[in-house]
Structure 1
Amino acid sequence: MFNKSTQMLFMGILITSILLSISSNSWFVVWMGMEINMMSFMPMIMEQKNMMSKESSLTYFMVQTIASMLLIMSVIMLNIKKLNFTTINPMEMMLMSALMMKSGMSPFHFWMPKMMEGMNWNNCFILMTMQKIIPLMMMSNIIKINMLTMTAMMMSIFIGAIGGLNQTSLRKLMAYSSISNNGWMMAAMMISETTWVTYMLFYMMMTMIMTTTMNMYKNYHINQLISMNETTTKKFLLMMNMISISGLPPMMGFMPKWIVIQSTTNMNQLMLMGVMIMLTLITIYYYLRVMFTTMTLVNIEPKWNNNNSNKNYKMTTMMSVMSITSLTLITMMMTAN
C-alpha cells in the first residue's frame, strides 16, 4: 500500500489530467490527458498483498488501451477529407464506441463489475465518477440522435437493472447501478450539456456518501450490512441515501431524473421514456433488497464494545445533512408548480 504522499501525488496528476482534457479544443491533447489519467489511476488501484487489485489494474490497462487505440485511429480517419460517407459515418460510430468503452457503457461494460470487485471503496468512487468525466464530456460534444446512441442508452439501463438482481457483492451492485446511470446521462446529453453535468454532480454526491459509509464499516457484501447495528437512525439514513441513488421520489436522486423525464417528454419521446422508467424500477427493487436485511435484523451488542463513537457521530451528522437535503426536493416540486 502506498503512503499518503504518493496517493496525493497520483491524485493531483489525475485531477490535472481531467482539467487538461476538458479545457482543450484539440483531440490530440484530450487523448493525451486521458492517457495521463489512466497512468495515474493504475498505481492507486494496486495494493501490496492483494492479487485482486493487481488483476483489476491490468484489466483497466487493457480496456483503456484498446479504447484509446480505437479513439486515436477514428480521429485520424475523420480528418482524412477524401473519405466521404453519404449516410452514417463508421468512423463517428467507432469514436462513440471507444468513448463508451472508456466510460463502461453497455455493450462495452463487461470489464467494470469484475474490476470493481478487486478495489477498495475509495478507488471504486474514483472509477464511478471522476474517471468518467473526460469520456462523457467528449461524448456530449459529438453525440447525435441515431440508432447507435439510442441502442447503447437502452442497453445500459437494461443491463444495469438486470445485472444487479443476482448480486450479493455491494461493489458489483454499485457497478451495475453506475452502468444504469450512464444510460440516463446519455439521455441527458441529448437534451443539453447543463443537464448531464447537473446529473453527474448529483450522482457524485450520492455515491460519495454511499462509498464513505461502506468504507468506514468495511462492508463489501450484503450479509455484512448487519454490522451497522449501533442505531436505527443511522440505518434509516443510509436507506434514504440508497433510495436517493436509485431515483425514487421524493428523494434528491430523483431530481436529475425528473429533469430528463420532463425534457424528453416535451420532445414527445414517450415510448423511450416509459421503457427507461420501468427498467429503473428494477434498480429501485434491488436497492430496497440491500436495505431489507439491515433494517429488519438487529444484532444486540454492549455499548462498551463500541470504540468508534466520535467517528460514528461524524458519519451520522453527514448522513443527516444528506437526508435533509434529499427531502428538500418536495418543497422544490411544490414551488415549481
Structure 2
Amino acid sequence: MNNKSTNMLFTSILLISVPISISSNSWFIVWMGMEINMMAFIPLIMEQKNMLAKEAALTYFLVQTIASMLMIMSFIIMSMKDINNINLGSILLMSSLMIKSGMSPFHFWMPKMMEGINWNKCFILMTWQKLIPLMMMSNIIKINLITLTAMILSIIVGAIGGLNQTSLRKMMAYSSISNNGWMMMAMLMSEHMWMMYLIMYTIMTYIMTSSMNSYMNFHINQIMSMNESTTKKLMIMMNMLSISGLPPMMGFMPKWLIIQTATNMNELMLMGTMIIMTLITVFYYLRIMFSVMMLSNIEPKWNNKMIIKNKSKMYLMSTITLTGLMLITMSIMLM
C-alpha cells in the first residue's frame, strides 16, 4: 500500500475507533468499535509486500473474529436473566477480551504474528490495540479462579516463552504477555494504577521499537554486531532493562506500586510467584546486555560522515537514558 492517503485514512480510523468503544454505554457499540479497529489495522499490516505480513494479517483477522463471535454470544447469554446464564456469560465475555488482548492461555497467535510485521506495527499491536479490551476488562473484572489463573499463566508464559528466543520481536511479544498479567493485577486494585502502568509501558515500548527500527535490528545477533559506541549500546540496554522491570529503572515503578498494594492486602503467595517469574524476564534481557556490552566495536577514523548522519539516533538514545533514570527522580520526590 504505497498510497499515503490510504494509509492516513486507515490510521485515522484506527485512532477514532478506540474513543468510540471506550466512551460508549452499550456493549453493542463497544463491539462495533472493536470491529472497526480490526478492519483498519489489517490493511496497515498488509502494507508490507511479503508472505509473512499476509499470514500475520490473516492470523489477526481469524483470532479477532473468533473473539468477537464469543463476545456476541456472551451478550445473548447474559440477556437471559438467569443467574447461571449471567455467570457463564461473564466468563465468556472475559475470555473473549483475553483473546483480543493476547493473554495466556489465549496467547499463541501473538508471538507468531509479531514475527511477520515491522517494528511500528508491533508497537501499535502491543499498546493501542490492547486499549479497548483492557478498558472493558477493567469494568467487569472480578477476583475469581479464572482471573487469577489467567494472571499467573500470563506471567509464567511471558517469562519462560522468551527464554529460548533469538528474535527480538518474539521476545517483546512474550514480554508483553507478561506485562498483561501485571496489568490484570493492577486492575484488581484500582483503575488509576493499571492506566499508569499502561502509560509507562507504552513510553518504554515506543522507545524500544523506535530505536530497534532506526537500526533495523530484528534478532539478538544484530544487536551484538551493531557497530556503535559502548555508550550508545548502554543507552539501548538501559531501556531493555527498564521494560523488564529492573530497579531503579522507570519500568520498576508501576510494579513497585503493585507489589506494595498487594503486600498490604496480604496477597503474599501470589505476589511472590509473580516476582519470581518476572526475574526470569529480567534474566533474558540481562543475557542480551551481557553479550552486547562484552563485544567491543571498531570505529575507523574516516567514519566522520556517519557521525553526522547518526545525530538523530543520538537524540533518541538520550531520550532513552532520561527515561531510564526518571524513576530515581520520582522516588526522591515521593520520599
TM-score range, shorter chain: over 0.9
Work out the CA distance in 2 between the residues paired with 1:222 and 1:245: 16
Q: Deviations over 1:25-74 (max 9, x none)?
A: 11000000000000000011114531000000000000000000000110
Per the alignment, residue 222 of structure 2 pairs with: 224
Following TM superposition, by how much is the alpha carbon of 1:264 offset from its aligned partner in structure 2, in angstroms? 1.1
Q: What residue is the counterpart of 1:316 in the other structure?
A: 314
The whole-number CA distance in structure 2 between the counterparts of 1:64 and 1:96 is: 14
**1:77 maps to 2:115:** no
User: In structure 2, how many angstroms separate the alpha carbons of the residues matched to 1:124 and 1:328?
Assistant: 25
Unaligned runs of 5+ in 1: none
CA distance in 1, matches of 2:128, 2:54: 20
Native 8 Å contact 2:211 2:316 kept in 1: no
Residue identity opposite 1:60 in structure 2:
Y
Q: CA deviation at 1:277?
A: 0.5
Q: How far 1:307 moved relative to its partner?
A: 5.2
> Partner residue of 2:105?
107
How far is 1:2 from its partner? 2.9
Cα separation, 1, equivalents of 2:77 and 2:235: 52
AA paired with 1:73? M
Unaligned runs of 5+ in 2: none
Distance 1:128 1:190 in 2: 21
Cα distance, 1:123 vs. partner?
A: 0.3
CA contact (8 A) 1:106 1:179 kept: yes
Q: How far did 1:303 drift? A: 5.1
Whether the 8 Å CA contact 2:240–2:285 is kept in 1: the answer is: yes
C-alpha displacement of 1:265: 1.1
Contact 2:239 2:323 in 1 (8 A): no
Q: Residue 288 and residue 85 in structure 1: after superposition, are their counterparts in 2 closer, same or farther (change >3 A)?
A: same
Q: Name 2:28's counterpart in structure 1.
A: 28
Counterparts of 1:4 and 1:18, CA distance in 2: 22
The amino acid that maps onto 1:84 is I
Whichever residue aligns with residue 49 of structure 1, its letter is: K
Task: Write the deviation string for residues 213-247 of structure 1: whole angstroms up to 9, x where unpaired.
Answer: 11111111101113432221111111110010000
Counterpart of 1:132 in structure 2: which amino acid?
A: K
CA distance in 2, matches of 1:192, 1:61: 32
Larger CA deviation: 14-23 vs 226-235: 226-235
Q: Distance in 2 between matches of 1:311 and 1:175?
A: 31
In the other structure, the counterpart of 1:268 is 266
Match of 1:138 in 2: 136
Task: Give 1:326 deviation, angstroms.
Answer: 2.7
Aligned partner of 1:8 in structure 2 is 8
Distance 1:142 1:121, change over 3 A: same
CA–CA distance in structure 2, aligned partners of residues 202 and 185 of structure 1: 11
Pairwise mapping of residues 137-176 of structure 1 onto structure 2 (< 5 A)? 137-176=135-174
CA distance in structure 2 between the aligned counterparts of 1:136 and 1:331, rounded to whole angstroms: 29
Q: Distance in 1 between matches of 2:268 and 2:220?
A: 36
Alpha-carbon spacing, 1:224–1:26, altered in 2? closer, same or farther (3 Å) = same
Check the 8 A contact 2:104/2:154 in 1, yes or no: yes
Q: 1:311 to 1:210 in 2, by over 3 A?
A: farther
**TM-score (normalised: structure 1):** 0.95
Rounded Cα–Cα distance in structure 1 between residues aligned with 2:289 and 2:167? 13
- Distance (Å, rounded) in 1 between the aligned partners of 2:45 and 2:302: 36
Name the structure 1 match of 2:199. 201
State the AA in 2 paired with 1:177. S
* CA deviation after TM superposition for structure 1 residue 311, in Å: 5.0
Partner of 2:43: 43
**CA shift in 2, pair 1:226/1:137, >3 Å:** same
Which residue of 1 is the match for residue 247 of structure 2? 249
Contact conserved, 2:52 with 2:117, CA < 8 A, in 1? yes
* Structure 2 residue 94 is the aligned partner of structure 1 residue 96: yes
CA distance 1:144–1:294, change in 2 (3 Å): same
Equivalent-residue separation in structure 1 for 2:309 and 2:160 (angstroms):
36
Tell me whether 235-244 or 325-334 shows the greater mean CA deviation. 325-334
With the length of structure 2 as denominator, give the TM-score of the two structures. Answer: 0.96
Measured against aligned partners, the alpha-carbon deviations of 1:176-231 in whole angstroms (never above 9, x if no partner) come to 00000000000000011111110000000000000001111111110111343222
For 1:234-275, what per-residue CA distance to the aligned partner results, in whole angstroms no more than 9, with x for missing partners? 111111100100000100010111111111111110111111
In 1, the alpha carbon distance for the partners of 2:313 and 2:87 equals 51
Contact 2:236 / 2:320 at 8 angstroms: preserved in 1?
A: no
